[in-house]
Structure 1
Amino acid sequence: MSAEVILATTVLGTLFLLLASGVWVGVTLVVVGFVALFFFTPAPTGSLLATTIWDSSWGWALTALPLFIWMGEILFRSRLSEDMFKGLAPWLGWLPGRLLHVNILGCGVMAAVSGSSSVTCATIGRMSMPELRKRGYHEGMAIGTLAGSGTLGLLIPPSIMMIVYGITAQVSIGRLFIAGFLPGFMMIGLFMAYTAGWALLNPTKVPPADMRMTFGEKIWNARRLIPVILLIVTVLGSIYGGVATPTEAAVMGVVGALVLAAVTGSLSWETFKDSLLGAVRTSCMIGLILVGAAFVTMAMAFTGLPATMANWVNGLGLTPYGLILLLTLLYIVLGCFLDGVSMIVLTAPVVLPMVTAQQIDPLWFGIYIVLVVEMAQITPPVGFNLYVLQSLTGRDIWTVTKSTAPFFALLCVGVLLITLFPDIVTILPRQMTNG
């Protein structure tokens, strides 16, 4: 048995043993890196660990992460979800599927606020599910539109997952945010087109439209939603226009969210404290994973395993399309057992050299990997959105999973489209650079 096989077996065995034992992902990554360095290289393990922890925890790009999380936590505790349903519903009654589209567009708006899939799904679902049930909408489609659209929290900027990938792969976070726009709108379009098509084929499963409103009444119902939209446009527009860095835009987002919460009367000492502590908890969790991932990446570089794996894949004679297909299958399987952040940081040390060897654009690959991680959010048994919906609806996990299957297929279509037409991802960042 070759040394590379022994190394790979030891690393994977340690990884799965610790994860199965319930050890935190960040701690697991540090232990895996320590085992690889200590037993398979002559490198000074202790000093490398200390240096890596310091180097991976002080970067300026990291400051955007807790700030965007805090912005989402503030708005999550406001009346945003209630305002969103009342504001969007009157404008969508004419579409086939009617208020089912509130789930899709509501999740799209919330995704631009929270940057988190599970928060997006829970926030919109908490308000929309009771309303859709009361009006007699098909429960399976209500669950499916919510689960599928909830994944947009990872794709539509500002996305926590994009920040994690950008830090891990050393790709500009601002360019990743811009690259996520068109794929995000594309997925919203696919979800809405499928929902409209389903409604046209099943007219008896869609209740009649609510009472019609005048244009003025629609504007009045949307009055609280308009400031949130303006906040999102300001934050992301400042990045796109080159006026602010992602960190500076995140500061603007936090200040704007606090002002909106105060104006709407939902800002109190309790909500301020809860939002701050919620942001700290999430940021610390992701920070620990990033530190562990940096140490594993460094350890793998010392062992030479990523280069060996890249050479092995290259020896298979795969085309870039073949590699993408192989990686898609790998991430779908991993999504059955790991959350999105863990998937990215665990696979980056091995996958990125393969991607680079095939001359695949790391920026494009970042959006691709976010899309396949979105699939993991609705893949049993560890799809977080499935459990959020199970708690919201009281249905068993199989019923929820069955309702989300068409939207999983639409995410696969999304991956196929950006693979065949990569300009969907790269055209906006390229224009920003040329401009």
Structure 2
Amino acid sequence: MSQTPSAAPRISRRVGAIAESATLAVDAKAKALKAAGRPVIGFGAGEPDFPTPQYVVDAAVAACSVPANHRYTPAAGLPDLREAIAAKTLRDSGYEVATNQVLVTNGGKQAVYQAFATVVDPGDDVLLPAPYWTTYPEAIRLAGGNPVEVFAGADQGYLVTVEQLEAARTERTKVLLFCSPSNPTGAVYSPEQTEAIGRWALEHGIWVITDEIYEHLVYDDTVFTPIVRAVPELADSSIVLNGVAKTYAMTGWRVGWMISPVDVTKAATNLQSHLSSNVANVSQRAAIAALTGDLTAVQEMRTAFDRRRRTMVEMLSAIDGVHCPTPQGAFYAYPSVEGLLGRTIRGVTPTTSAELAALILDEAEVAVVPGEAFGPSGYLRLSYALGDEDLAEGVGRLQTLLGEAR
């Protein structure tokens, strides 16, 4: 008697195992509630509230009328943009790269995905300092790699040490993900820390994938140090990820890039030629204008972010049970809320930061991202890339609600 074969899964195991982007999910829920008439204030998305600088928009408008931009262009990116990225790297990071080391991608996320896909094989370990951006572990797993979390809490300023990395290293370790300034914590490694980590990776033959998309957003006397400038010998075993999204308020334009050794860039370009081909030409032309212009607009945005940063940290730190290290970069605060867990707030006793975030949304109509999206529970991420009034109102609601904890 023949047996009916069991139905195959409708969704592949590889894709079915991917977790939804928690930051985008929180942002989408906040926007849906707001559209339904609820006065929700969202601290979820890492997106500047400023418009893209007008000179960048003007360049895009002009590009729309050029027939060459209506056609396919090289998968690796417009030659003019690759040259602009190489020149910008020399200007901002202090070292030279050739244009054939540059691959233009559809936003920074595609650069992240392709970087791991290009150098990680199934079974490879990837050291992932935590708290981490929510996309990193998913991209690692899609490449067949094994994300190995190395956690540094608020007591360490969210900065991992060489000793911690060494303790996590095995014979299967192939890659270290390095993100400074950090999303989600705003932590920035000092020049000395950056060099020490770079030299450790070099000594052990470990690739470094370094995400530098927040390079221009540092505050006080903090110095951003590109790891390849700190350890030039890493140039042959590193991939630099960057983009225009955060620096120029261009999140929707979808232009990122990766800089890597020529063989890696060629392999990643082959992947992109099948995955998506070229980035939209109008967006690439806008990116050229951004990278070749001055940084006046960037400095103005950074001044506003700095003001909001100080306001947010001061207001969060006034809440009993909240410990908020001062972020030195990016536009996020990452307070520890472990002192609130297990305490009762309006009849609810949250035991995880996910439960606390849900309570905050329900009771205060404020959207925050729980620490579970970035590593261990016990933390919240709040973006201060929103207007001053909304920021003060939103954190004020948190003060009122969380002040009731008993």
- Which TM-score applies when normalising by structure 2? 0.29
Name the structure where strand makes up a greater proportion of residues: 2
Task: Give the number of the structure with larger relative contact order, counting CA–CA contacts within 8 Å between residues 6 or more apart.
Answer: 1
- Which TM-score applies when normalising by structure 1? 0.27
